[in-house]
Amino acid sequence: MIDEGKLSIPFFPDTEDIRQGTKKLTNMICHTEDYKCYQKDLAVLKEQEELYRKFKEFRGKSLYLQLEKGQEQYFEKIESLHSEYKDVLTEPVVVDFLSAEQRMCKLMRLVYDGIAENIKLDLSYMDEL
């Protein structure tokens, strides 16, 4: 005799199941202290419009330097940029925001690494880059 309570039907997720799981994960992330702190610190920074403008300007220039390929004197240029924006980067509001942002990046990295670790994709073509 078969005990129907012990039978299981295999679950084969589809795209909608993945979408729902993503919504649940996103909701969980949005309810973390790290995310709430990030949003709070960003709002406080944005309240100081001129400081926020200078901070965004610094980030844009920094990103540009990081993405430029084969750049000579990269470290000197980054160091010079940091010196130019030292007054912005040492503001407590900016320091707090960057700290909160770093915690969020670590959390997102944990999520991304967990997914990438368990989903095997052939990315060997990137080794040549």
What separation in angstroms does the CA of 40 have from each of 35, 103, 116?
A: 9, 14, 30
Instruction: Report the interhelical angle of 92-118 vs 49-67 (nearest 10°).
Output: 40
Neighbours of 101 (CB within 10 A): 15
Per-residue pLDDT band for 123 (boundaries 50, 70, 90) equals confident
Report yes or no: 56 and 16 within 8 Å, Cβ to Cβ.
no
Rounded to an integer, what distance in angstroms lies between the CA atom of residue 51 and that of residue 92? 11
Span 51-99, pLDDT tens digits: 999 999 999 999 999 888 767 788 899 999 999 999 999 999 999 999 9
Of the listed ranges 4-18, 65-79, 104-118, the one predicted with least confidence:
4-18
Residue 102 CA, chain-centre distance (Å), reads 8
Averaged pLDDT, 94-122: 95
Share of residues in the chain with pLDDT > 90 (%): 71
Q: What is the phi/psi pair of residue 122, to 5°?
A: -85, 100
Per-residue pLDDT band for 44 (boundaries 50, 70, 90) equals very high
Q: Is 90 helix (H, G, I), strand (E, B) or coil?
A: coil
Comparing 109 with 9, the larger pLDDT belongs to 109
CB crowding 43-66: b at 16 or more within 10 Å, else e: eebeeeeebbebbeebeeeeeeee
| pLDDT value of residue 120 | 87
